[in-house]
A and B are shown apart, each in its own frame.
Chain A
Amino acid sequence: MTFDSKLLSELRAVVGAEGMVEGRASLKVYECDGYTLAKAAPDLVLLPQTTAQASEVIKLLAARRIPFVPRGAGTGVSGGCLPGDAHVMVGTSRMRAIRNLDLANRIAEVEAGVVNLEVTRAVEGRGFYYAPDPSSQSACTIGGNVAENSGGPHTLKYGVTVNHLLALEVVLPSGEVVWLDRCGEAPGFDLVGVFTGSEGTLGLVTAAKVRLMKKCEAVTTLLAVFPGVPEASRAVSAIIAAGIVPAALEMMDALVISAVEAAYRFGFPSDAGAVLIIELDGLAAGLDALAERVGQACIGEGASEIRRAADEAERALLWKSRKRAFGAMGRLTPNYCTQDGVVPRSRLPEIVAVITEVSARYGLRIANLMHAGDGNIHPLILYDESKPGEAERVVAAGDEILRACLDLGGSITGEHGIGVEKLGLMGAAFGTETLAAMADLRAAFNPLGLCNPNKVVPTDRSCVEVVRPRPRGGG
């Protein structure tokens, strides 16, 4: 798409030359995010530095009915910021101010481009932290977290992004700037809740007031080693059924363990079929007894060994191994697709059996990483995009697993969102009326469909097949 020179000069006047990304070499990397099965480069990327600039450029685009796609750090894994039908991208990478730290009220007001971990870094010296901790937290942005309602290992006890938001500053697709506020339990509709997880289809988040948490007095992290995924899955239910809510309860299978071991040499047992990482926090008194009970529950389900992180350094390395497991897959395979589904946690053993069967039938290796406590599974399907037909098989295998999640009473996404990846499954997950209601809600914010068109909710306009994942020719 080419733009008229008047528009370009108007946009440049707002964001400056350094906020305008044009030209093939500069734009190429924006053709996908962490979801690499579908690619399409934008023709223009705008990087405003302030909310006012963001509002101005979106007004200029809206006046010409030009759709745009918001982008944070491009770490999403469902293609939420794939340009698709929009040719312009509005990124928040230059909006990185921490506007205010209000420790007395435990609120941080940060711009959308602030990296998740930076919020914690800004306040950890005073004993606070920002709880949602997606695996990509060292790179992903708060704006992106709001768009995806990101979770992370510690959501089991502490909840996801929406549970930690107090107010949002957003630029609507018209260019109007509004604050959606739920501070002080404001009456009326919870528009923060509506906006969070809308994957950029309602507008561009430019800033957020987030809740800061006080660090717990004590924390301890256990590693339980199991012969296989089924035993580990049963142990998850046993722990929860014993009335214990760990801060985090994570599972990695043998394939994931081999990748992270290659990357970080933590010292996982090489013969482990699966491990659970179990984090307990709270008051120091009683934590040891709780750890003992968790250990017994694991042993009761067949754990061969229970280890406990000896110090903060060991604990940090254990979490690094877990949180960077996605990226570490590069050590096993040229390409992989991260799937994201949910089942009731008691049905983990059943979905694991499905995954094993699908893997064998499609001839694709599938590694399992799970926020097991939430029943949130992340099957990682390994493939090589240079092999003809393999990418299509990956998509089909992923679909089968997700449909099985629905059959077991679960969901097609736990935290990665629908993006373009799962658009085709929305019809299986929701009835026509529900989808129509979602479309109406979107239209209330985004009546002309200018902001992130053809994502999340399938519409008549979007031909689902067009945006279904397709391999890049030749690799």
Chain B
Amino acid sequence: MSGHGLPCVHCGLCLDTCPTYRLLGTEADSPRGRIYIMEAIESGELELDAQAATHLSRCLGCLACESACPSGVSYGRRIDEFRPQLAARAGTEGILKNAAQSLYTNPSLVDLGLRGAALLDRFGLGALRRQAPGLGLLPSASTSGATTDNDGADWKVTPLRRSRVHQPLRARLRVALLSGCVGDQMMPQINRDSVEVLQRNGIEVVEMPGQGCCGALALHSGRRDEAVALARANLAAFARIDDVDAFVTSAAGCGALVRDYDHLLAGTDVGEEAEAFSALCRDVCELLVEVGFKTPSRPLTSAGPVAYHDACHLLHARGIAAAPRKVCEVATGSAPVDLGENNLCCGSAGSYNLDHPVLAEQLGRRKAVLARQSPPTTVAVGNVGCMLQIARALELEGVSAVVRHPVQLLAAAYRQSAGRG
């Protein structure tokens, strides 16, 4: 028990917030069940056999249980500490998974995948491709989060710095953008729009060469050493730039881990730097609400009814619920409705699609079914992984809504107000 934070008192309040328990109904696939298994393994009562590993590895890491837990059990950190053992057990399957993840975090290979996907789509094989677990997640032109003012054609990889708004003449804040890896490849518009929105609000966005993947995929897959190495590399990159007021990310998954660098690197030679860095990390919507942002003169009514879905790593890992909704509201002129089951993961969860395609798809389709009930024109969600997952699910279920990051809605509203819509 010691070293794992507060103890689980077996109250069961986490059960119904857990996506796998909701789908499977088996308690070993609930947070309480997983804690039980981990404790039994630690005490030597159980071995980490195939059955135990299955229950543990099914965890999405969405952290909804932490939001529900009245006892403050640090479930996420706890299971992450277990993941190396799970990875070690996984054998060949694990090697394949790691290879697949490397593809996803390697810019040129993702680019290749995107081109391949576009080719398939062009030959009318898009629907078929969407069914495939790996390829299916790659965005197609119509859902790739293209900005509303250029009709979705421009989804190719566009370097971050080619932003169409100049840096503010007299900046009130100076921030650096954590561009991420796979997200920036697949939906570069999000980062580009983030930069634009920040700049239009008098915030200078500085370049940050040398940054890379935050390490979340590696950490949550049990490759802790790799995650630590990536975190160190990022800290070194950030150290090379001058004073900034904040480090901003548009991806909730990355945002949760960079906020946790202080924990990941605690007790190392860079522990203090990590602590200082983590404290400055902000989600883009969080920062906007914190420092204030302009209301566009014309709201983006073309976005239609907007349904907001909470990204788990915003809601559960960071407790951020109001800020992205506020951004949507200011952008479109009316408060978004909830998509429904907002505290339940969409099944994206890092590389969960690759590891547990069946469960991931069931969770994804649940979102699409909810979207069908009161069809929104736009589904807004503040994390690229969730956007890809929900876009795929909408397509599979034949629901026509588009998926946008809240900051994209705001950027489009600003552009429209500036007479460029």
- Interface residue ranges, A against B (CB under 8 Å): 18, 21, 23-30, 32-34, 36, 45, 47, 73-75, 91, 93-94, 96, 113, 115, 136, 138-140, 262-263, 324-331, 334-336, 474
Contacts and interface: CB of A to CB of B under 8 A. Distances in A.
A326 B40 contact: no
Nearest to A321: B70
Given A25-B51, A93-B25, A334-B1, A327 B11 contact: yes
A328 B70 contact: yes
Interface in B118-153: none
A93 B49 CA distance: 25
Contacts of B12: 33-34, 73-75, 136, 139-140
A196 B71 CA distance: 31
B11 A28 contact: no
Task: Give the most central of A29, A91, A263, A325: most B CB within 10 Å.
Answer: A29
Nearest to A336: B9
* Max chain B Cβ within 10 angstroms of own Cβ: one of A26, A115, A326: A26
Nearest to B51: A25
Interface in B1-32: 1, 6-17, 21, 24-28, 30, 32
Given A34-B10, A330-B7, A331-B72, A29 B25 contact: no
Given A74-B27, A136-B12, A331-B72, 14 more contacts: A21-B28, A26-B26, A28-B33, A28-B40, A29-B36, A34-B10, A93-B21, A115-B16, A136-B11, A138-B13, A139-B12, A328-B72, A329-B71, A330-B73
B55 interface: yes
A423 B12 CA distance: 23
Among B13, B52, B72: residue with most chain A CB under 10 A: B13
B88 interface: no
Contacts of B72: 262-263, 328, 330-331
A75 B30 CA distance: 13
Contact of B16 (A26, A47, A139, A335): A139
Give 10 closest A-B pairs by Cβ, nearest first. Answer: A330-B71, A327-B70, A93-B25, A324-B70, A94-B25, A25-B52, A29-B33, A75-B12, A328-B70, A327-B11
Contacts of A25: 28, 37, 40, 46, 49, 51-52, 55
Nearest to B43: A474
Interface string B348-385: 00000000000000000000000000000000000000
B13 A28 contact: no
B36 to A, nearest CB: 4
Nearest to B56: A25
A138 B344 CA distance: 13
A330 B8 contact: yes
Interface string B46-63: 100101100100000000
A27 B50 CA distance: 14
A330 B26 contact: no
A29 B32 contact: yes
Nearest to A93: B25
Nearest to B37: A25
B243 to A, nearest CB: 32
7 contacts: A33-B12, A34-B11, A262-B72, A325-B70, A327-B13, A331-B72, A334-B1
B69 interface: yes
B10 A73 contact: no
A328 to B, nearest CB: 4
Given A36-B10, A94-B25, A136-B11, A26 B51 contact: yes
B261 to A, nearest CB: 25
Given A25-B28, A29-B36, A138 B16 contact: yes
A324 B24 contact: no
A338 to B, nearest CB: 9
